[in-house]
């Protein structure tokens, strides 16, 4: 399946995520290196993650999940398939006077949690 077809089909399935074609990974890694990802999705909802993973399995398209790109190195040739950048960043803090519990979605930046 070519990337244009993947883009078109996936675009119709996603509700509120931002899908891009031939996106330079250098824009999404701390080291500012890496060639283009065929398809790059900034994911804003759990439903969209489910849709992408289901689509990738059904169509046999490789996919790769990233967060803030601070612990990955991408080669100059880029990434074939779909890159899913998790942008879910809700945070809940519960304090029962003895313990504090912090629940965060996996796209939250560590610095924001620490602050
Ligand atoms: C200069 C520098 C300083 C750092 N300092 C610290 C520090 O002080 N403290 C500290 O704890 N860490 C530190 N780190 C490490 C870095 O912050 C951690 O590795 C961080 O947890 C990576 O998160 P990320 O969202 O950037 O992941 P990414 O780099 O995007 O991804 C890392 C790996 O996790 C996978 N992944 C990411 N998100 C998901 C997800 N939601 N589901 C499944 N798999 C996922 C990716 O596929 C990849 O294999 C530092 C790194 C650098 C480069």
Enter the pTM of the model.
0.91
Residue-level pLDDT at 46: 94
Pocket of ligand 1 (CB under 6 A): 30, 65-72, 86, 106, 110
Average pLDDT over residues 41-63: 96
What's the gap in Å between 9 CA and the centre of ligand 1? Answer: 30
Instruction: Identify the H or E element spanning 9.
Output: helix 3-13
On the question of pLDDT at 81 being above 80, the answer is: yes
What digits encode the pLDDT tens for the residues 22-45? Answer: 999 999 999 999 999 999 999 999
For ligand 1, atom 18: residue with the closest CA: 71
The C-alpha atoms of residue 82 and residue 51 are separated, in whole angstroms, by 12
What are the chain's domains? Answer: 3-88 (3.30.43.10)
Residue-level pLDDT at 52: 97
């Amino acid at each position: 399946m070519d990337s244009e077809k993947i883009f078109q089909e996936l675009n119709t399935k996603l509700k509120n995520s931002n899908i891009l074609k031939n996106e330079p990974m250098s824009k999404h890694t701390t080291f500012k290196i890496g060639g283009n990802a065929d398809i790059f999705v900034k994911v804003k909802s759990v439903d969209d993650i489910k849709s992408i993973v289901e689509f990738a399995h059904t169509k046999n398209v490789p996919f790769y999940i990233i967060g803030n790109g601070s612990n990955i190195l991408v080669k100059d040739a880029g990434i074939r398939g779909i890159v899913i950048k998790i942008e879910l960043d809700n945070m809940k803090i519960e304090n029962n006077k003895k313990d504090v519990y912090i629940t965060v979605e996996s796209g939250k930046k560590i610095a924001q949690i620490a602050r």
